[in-house]
């Protein structure tokens, strides 16, 4: 037996012993599906349409709560709004602290307000969010929101073949302009980096996705050993996290240096010599992007800006366009069969449709927009 193999075996035995010792609950968990030894419910969690399984399991037990056990980790699934409010709002002091896992640390996502424990750094983040995104401040962002939705109208009319990607780029453009004064282009490298890092962490946190969260001692073993996929995954994600924090900050610094910086949240903080330092600004910038780019969480910081943008966008779309199915070469409607991606974060698949101008007034409005909306150029230096 080689020294490395001996060390690996020793750590594995110690980890397994610690795992089963610390996983014995002192209070009962919610109902659970039948499970296998060690693996638990690993094979019962689907890789796709996980939400359908999570919704169906509680119905089997007539319970709003159900627990899933994978590699010694318990995950409690909350399947009703009432249960979520009872646990996470009314009893937030008990149940609403943040998730702390090995993979969050290894991937570099432990800076994010989503994962920070309720301590000094979290409070510093919260103060910035409350100052920037209080409901009374949203009117300050409306000129930028209006310009952005005009770009969306133009893009959807000119290229309606990928609605999902067009909307995704548009949301990113508004957020990056607001936070960094940065103009986004299709296929933008910084936006792709931000989205990749976000997707990687949500997938890493699925129950049973990474063995390191069940056996934390494995993080100290070399990457080349069998079973160390999580270390390669974490290193790749950490690289994206570093880039998503530092690349936009480098852009703002260059623009300030040559006197061409557009007004933005980060340039304002730099101009005020924010006492928290530039490292904090980089982290808060990335945190703001992830908060605003997701309109699906009603209690998320930045929700007022996100929902205001959503309202303005939908109102403009309804005022200008009639939305119809795409026609095939025979003139028949192309069915729109939208599917949703699996994982912890779900998005609709791409689909095609036709955006038809409602009337001559809408046509004149769109032509005016086309004349006034500037063309964005990539200047990321990425």
Give the model confidence (pLDDT) of 69-117 as tens digits: 887 778 888 888 898 888 888 887 777 667 778 899 999 998 888 888 8
Q: How many angstroms from the chain centroid is the CA of residue 32?
A: 28
Output the pLDDT for position 10.
Answer: 59
Output the pLDDT for position 295.
Answer: 47
In the block, residue with structure tokens 């169906």? 56
* Closest among 75, 112, 109, 332 to 214, alpha carbons compared: 75
Output the pLDDT for position 288.
Answer: 82
Output the pLDDT for position 210.
Answer: 86
Output the pLDDT for position 362.
Answer: 87
3-state DSSP of the chain: CCHHHHHHHHHHHHHHHHHHHHCCCCCCCCCECCCECCCECHHHCCCCCHHHHHHHHHHHHCCCEEEEEECCEEEEEECCHHHHHHHHHHCHHHHCCCCCCHHHHHHCHHHCCCCCCCCHHHHHHHHHHHHHHCHHHHHHHHHHHHHHHHHHHHHHHHCCCCHHHHHHHHHHHHHHHHHHCCCCCCCCHHHHHHHHHHHHHHHHCCCCCCHHHCCHHHHHCCCCCCCCHHHHHHHHHHHHHHHHHHHHHHHHHHHHHCCCCCCCHHHHHHHCCCCCCHHHHHHHHHHHHHHHCCCCCCCCCCHHHHHHHHHHHHHHHHHHEEEEECECCCCCECCCCCCECCCCCCCECCCCEEEEECCHHHHHHHHHHHHHCCCCCCCCCC
Output the pLDDT for position 298.
Answer: 44
Tokens (6 digits) for 46: 């689907």
Distance separating alpha carbons of residues 280 and 350, to the nearest angstrom: 36
Q: Are 246 and 108 in contact (CB under 8 A)?
A: no
Sign of the Cα torsion 175, 178, 179, 185 reads: positive
Chunk the chain into consecutive blocks of 10 residues (it has 382) and report each block's average pLDDT, rounded to whole numbers.
59 56 65 83 79 84 87 82 86 74 91 83 83 75 86 85 81 88 86 89 83 83 88 95 92 90 85 71 85 56 74 90 86 82 68 86 82 59 57
Tokens (6 digits) for 41: 């419910």
Output the pLDDT for position 108.
Answer: 93
Distance separating alpha carbons of residues 67 and 65, to the nearest angstrom: 7
Output the pLDDT for position 264.
Answer: 86
């Amino acid at each position: 037996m080689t020294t490395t193999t001996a060390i690996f075996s020793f750590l594995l035995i110690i980890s397994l012993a610690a795992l089963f010792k610390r996983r014995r609950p002192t209070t009962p968990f919610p109902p659970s599906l039948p499970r296998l030894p060690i693996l638990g419910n690993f094979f019962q969690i689907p890789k796709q349409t996980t939400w359908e399984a999570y919704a169906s399991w509680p119905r089997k037990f007539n319970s709003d709560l159900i627990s899933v056990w994978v590699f010694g980790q318990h995950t409690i699934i909350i399947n009703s709004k009432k249960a979520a409010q009872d646990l996470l709002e009314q009893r937030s002091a008990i149940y609403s602290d943040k998730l702390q896992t090995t993979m969050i640390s290894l991937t570099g996502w432990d800076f994010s307000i989503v994962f920070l424990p309720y301590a000094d750094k979290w409070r510093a983040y919260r103060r910035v969010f409350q100052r920037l995104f209080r409901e009374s401040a949203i009117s300050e962002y409306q000129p930028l929101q209006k310009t952005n939705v005009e770009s969306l109208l133009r893009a959807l009319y000119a290229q309606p073949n990928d609605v999902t990607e067009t909307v995704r780029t548009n949301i990113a453009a508004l957020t990056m302009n607001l936070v960094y004064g940065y103009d986004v282009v299709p296929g933008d490298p910084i936006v792709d980096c931000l989205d990749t890092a976000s997707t990687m962490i949500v997938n890493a946190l699925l129950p049973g996705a990474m063995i390191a969260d069940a056996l934390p001692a494995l993080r100290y073993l070399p990457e080349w050993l069998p079973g160390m996929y999580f270390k390669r995954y974490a290193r790749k994600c950490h690289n994206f996290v570093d880039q998503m924090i530092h690349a936009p900050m480098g852009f703002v610094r260059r623009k300030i240096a040559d006197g061409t910086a557009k007004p933005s949240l980060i340039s304002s903080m730099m101009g005020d010599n924010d006492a928290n330092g530039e490292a904090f600004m980089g982290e808060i910038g990335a945190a703001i992007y992830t908060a605003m780019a997701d309109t699906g969480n009603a209690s998320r910081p930045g929700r007022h800006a996100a929902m205001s943008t959503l309202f303005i966008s939908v109102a403009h779309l309804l005022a200008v366009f009639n939305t119809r199915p795409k026609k095939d070469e025979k003139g028949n409607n192309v069915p729109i069969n939208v599917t949703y991606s699996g994982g912890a974060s779900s998005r609709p698949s791409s689909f095609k449709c036709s955006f038809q101008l409602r009337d001559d007034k809408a046509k004149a409005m769109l032509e005016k927009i086309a004349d006034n909306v500037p063309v964005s150029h990539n200047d990321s230096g990425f």
